[in-house]
Structure 1
Amino acid sequence: MQSKEAAERLRITQRMLRHYENEGLLEVGRALNGYRSYTEADLRRAGRVRDFIATGFSTREIRAMSACLSDEGSGPCEGGIEKLLEKLEHIDRLRADLEEKRSAVIDRLATLQNGLATVTGR
Structure 2
Amino acid sequence: MQAKEAAEQLGITQRMLRHYEKEGLMDVDRSLNGYRSYSAADLRRAGRIRDFIATGFSVREIRAMSACLSDDGDGPCAGGIEKLTEKLEHIDRLRAELDEKRSAVLDRLVTLQNGLSTLSHH
Pick the TM interval, shorter chain: over 0.9
CA distance in 2, matches of 1:119, 1:6: 62
Alignment-derived partner of residue 114 in structure 1? 114
How many percent of aligned residue pairs carry the same amino acid?
80
- Dislocated runs of 4+, deviation >6 Å: none
CA distance in 1, matches of 2:58, 2:51: 11
Which residues of structure 2 form unaligned runs of 5+? none
Alignment-derived partner of residue 29 in structure 2? 29
State the SS of the aligned residue for 1:73.
helix
CA distance in 2, matches of 1:25, 1:74: 16
CA displacement, residues 22-77 of structure 1 (integer Å, 9 cap, x when unaligned): 11101000111111011000000000000101111111110010000000011100
Alignment-derived partner of residue 68 in structure 2? 68
CA distance in 2, matches of 1:33, 1:24: 22
Aligned residues: 122
The reply on whether 1:8 has 2:5 as its aligned counterpart is no
CA distance in 2, matches of 1:59, 1:103: 33
CA distance in 2, matches of 1:106, 1:98: 12
Which residues of structure 1 form unaligned runs of 5+? none
State the TM-score, normalizing by the size of structure 2: 0.98
